[in-house]
Chains A and B, each alone.
Chain A
Amino acid sequence: MELSTRLIIAGCYIILAPFIIGLLDGFDRKISARMQGRRGPSVLQPFFDLKKLFEKEFLTANKTQLFMIRSYLVFIVLSGILFFGGFDILLVVFSLSTAAMFLILASTSTHSPYSAQGTHRELVQIMSCEPMELLVAVGFYLATTPSTFNVSEIISGSQIPNIVFLPGFFVGFVFILTIKFRKSPFDIATSHHAHQEVIKGVTSEMVGKEYGMVTLAEWYENAILLGIVGLFFLNSNPVSIVGAIIAILVVWFLEILIDNTSARVKWQLMLKLAWSVTIVAAGMNLLLLEIIRG
């Protein structure tokens, strides 16, 4: 892929991702409400919320926090540029981890016990998701011939969608998406449920625009994660883009369904389940791939 094309796609990501994910989030809240027998808010509600957060008075605990949150946002956007620009997927995973580190630093820069508790939960969450994220990158490397971590070569180099070789990785990845989208479990700090066990976890001390930036960063991150879902279905044939979009929408709906049917999952179960699914689904797939490759 030419550099100019890469830059155009990355530019589209920076501009469009918040709108698309914000709208998906709006539909999420509407669908969730309908599943619970409620009317629910407008589909534009996430945008109203975000705009409001940037308009609120800024009462910060310290200056470090704002710097850390800005860095968090920058690294998430950078990961997105790397991914949608078609660069190294391994680099995307590492860049996302760096971003998460800044979020942790932001929440620990205050002395609130709720932030501290939330940080602990956030670390557990990272611990349960990170292995699967790394394995997905490894999976794509093994499934493509010649082996590559480069996103644009993964797409252009494969004649059939990678999902055929990586069903176990796909299952494992969709499983951790529930956690990455901050849907389940309910006691994981910034979960979207109306009640939280630890107030608002890592975001407890984040006021107004700080919380707005974290929300925005989450939207950018969700765009990358859904992009990885799409990558399982993309190949050199441009028609596969339609398949990828359908797959993304189906996975998004599935996450809403899981969220609404397993509302009482706690973080202990999350850790056990996430690792079990990672080891069984992705591990088996990895073994089979190795055998096929000889």
Chain B
Amino acid sequence: MSGTISVERAERETVINIKGRFNFEMHSQFRTAYQEDTSKGQKGRKFVIDLSGTEYIDSSALGMLLLLREEAGTNESDIEIVNAKPEIRKILETANFQRLFKIS
């Protein structure tokens, strides 16, 4: 039982939509979703992780976000996590991920 991922790509922005359960089973799906952009070594692309349809997030998913942050070039890239439900936002904030990502 895991979630599904859909991706929308614009010129300078990639929106990754995660529906359902965002857990360790999503690892390769999530990676494929962003690697199309990160593998090109292009700088300055913005990533938006849309969690509006996400019901659950585990620590492996947090790890995947760290991986995206690293592969997207940590500081140069702009990663924003949007529309997280309160309980998911709480998990992100317990891990103090607001220090690494824009969470709105």
**A interacts with B:** no
